[in-house]
Copies of this chain bind each other. A is one copy, B any other.
């Protein structure tokens, strides 16, 4: 197997899930090209976390692409809309939250596909999860399967049959606790990650948004301390 046969593009946001995905891709022998987006998210701490994660786990290259989704708005993450706090579990499990960014996963996977084609890589990794956060339509297995089909129609490599693109979603069926256990077994230091949608001006998590709550519940269920919370109490 040549070098390029084992190259993969991994979407890395700086959060817990994508850090775990990167560690899984590495553990499967892939040379990882990490892709992050500066998409006008509420804060830049996420991008700093992505860089820390890539440095810690090890990648061939890390590219951060500017992409101004704020020009369109429509989400609490890309417009001046408050991030919901302290939502009870049953509310989090119902409907599509305001933190949904329209077509974000489609956009991110498309850019990753373009980079993969340039690299001669056919493997894309993304940390979508359909268990502990099923509210996003573009995190469902049927969406991912459809994107994989599209990738093989959309590209020169797909059309010429030099390979077949695969979208790897190793977290899709895992609970947050499972994800954390898997990452810890691979040596991921979650102290480098940031999950919060709305950290304070020092980059410390609010512990009240949906993402912080899910993270906290995940560590509790895994029976492990959250190093981030330990090291950087809000």
Contacts and interface: CB of A to CB of B under 8 A. Distances in A.
Interface of A: 63, 65-69, 71-74, 96, 100-107, 109-111, 113-115, 117-118, 137-138, 140, 142-143, 146-147, 149-151, 153-156, 158-160
B72 A102 contact: no
Contact of A107 (B68, B71, B73, B111): B111
Given A72-B63, A146-B150, A156 B118 contact: no
A141 to B, nearest CB: 10
A143 B137 contact: no
A101 B115 CA distance: 10
Contacts of A113: 102-103, 106
B72 A101 contact: no
Identify the interface centre among A118, A146, A147, A151: most chain B CB within 10 Å of its CB.
A118
B118 A114 contact: no
A72 B119 CA distance: 8
Contact of A143 (B103, B111, B117, B150): B150
Contacts of A160: 96
B153 A150 contact: no
Contacts of A156: 96, 100, 102, 137
A155 to B, nearest CB: 6
A179 to B, nearest CB: 23
Contacts of A74: 114, 117-118
A131 to B, nearest CB: 17
Contacts of A118: 72-74, 102
A68 B111 CA distance: 10
A146 B115 CA distance: 21
A213 to B, nearest CB: 22
Nearest to A75: B118
A66 B63 contact: no
Nearest to A136: B156
B117 A137 contact: no
A218 B155 CA distance: 27
Contacts of A96: 156, 159-160
B102 A106 contact: no
17 contacts: A65-B68, A66-B67, A67-B67, A72-B114, A74-B118, A100-B156, A102-B114, A102-B115, A102-B117, A102-B156, A103-B113, A106-B113, A106-B151, A137-B155, A138-B153, A146-B149, A147-B150
